[in-house]
Amino acid sequence: MIFKKIVPFILIGFGIWSCSNASEDYVPKPKGFNRILLPEVSYTQLEEGHPYTFEVSKAAIVQPDTFGKSEPHWIVLYYPEINGRIQLTYKPLNGNLVKLQEHIEDAFRLAAKHQVKATSQEEQLIQLKNGKKAVIIQLEGEVPSHFQFYTTDTLSHYLRGAVYLETATQNDSLRPVIDYLKAESRHLLETLRWK
């Protein structure tokens, strides 16, 4: 009978003693991130009947763009292993420089929509190894699209691309995925050929 009355006090005593000892040895754990396995880098030529071609990753699934206002030759390169995509929109110019200017303004307008959450936005004109030029727009912060670009031959073809991630995870833990998709976009631009 006395044993039944003493047991709760003994258990409470052990609980208090274990908590006090644990706090002396406590060391905060470093912040951890999810392990991300990036797809292997291997390419094949885009074989679809578009007015452009480039080398596309074997890890990507080429899909038609199903957006309500999509036009012919708009495609999405979907990367299922990392749940990301590169959306490509193509516009024929037919020598119309006014139309080209409208498309360029549209590219900057679409990038500016992310400024609500972006901490920075940087535009840069780059010279590609294949002799073409492209404008890249890099965004930092908790934005859905960190990398956008467009390229044109100024007379016949205009191609715009945007990288999107399909996850709500913090961007600092997604840095490897963002960098991977930027490299994929850069490779696309380097191997782009107009038909």
The rounded Cα 65 to chain-centroid distance in angstroms is 17
Positive or negative: CA dihedral 187, 188, 189, 195: positive
Higher-confidence residue of 103 and 33: namely 103
Q: For residues 187 and 86, give the distance between their C-alpha atoms in angstroms, rounded to a whole number.
A: 12
Mean pLDDT for the chain overall: 85
Q: For residues 31 and 44, give the distance between their C-alpha atoms in angstroms, rounded to a whole number.
A: 38
| Per-residue confidence (pLDDT) for residue 5, from 0 to 100 | 67
pLDDT, tens digit, for every residue of 115-157?
A: 777 788 899 999 998 889 999 999 888 888 889 999 999 999 9
| Per-residue confidence (pLDDT) for residue 160, from 0 to 100 | 97
Most confident of 10-14, 46-50, 132-136: 132-136
Q: For residues 195 and 187, give the distance between their C-alpha atoms in angstroms, rounded to a whole number.
A: 18
Higher-confidence residue of 39 and 169: namely 39
- 43-194 — its CATH code? 3.40.1000.10
Q: Is 14 left (phi over 0), alpha (psi -120 to 50) or beta?
A: alpha
Of the candidates 171, 175, 173, 177, which has an alpha carbon nearest to the alpha carbon of residue 32? 173
The rounded Cα 78 to chain-centroid distance in angstroms is 11
Q: For residues 134 and 146, give the distance between their C-alpha atoms in angstroms, rounded to a whole number.
A: 16
Whether 95 contacts 153, CB under 8 Å: no
Q: Note the pTM of the prediction, 2 decimals.
A: 0.78
**For the chain, which residues make up each domain, given as ranges?**
43-194
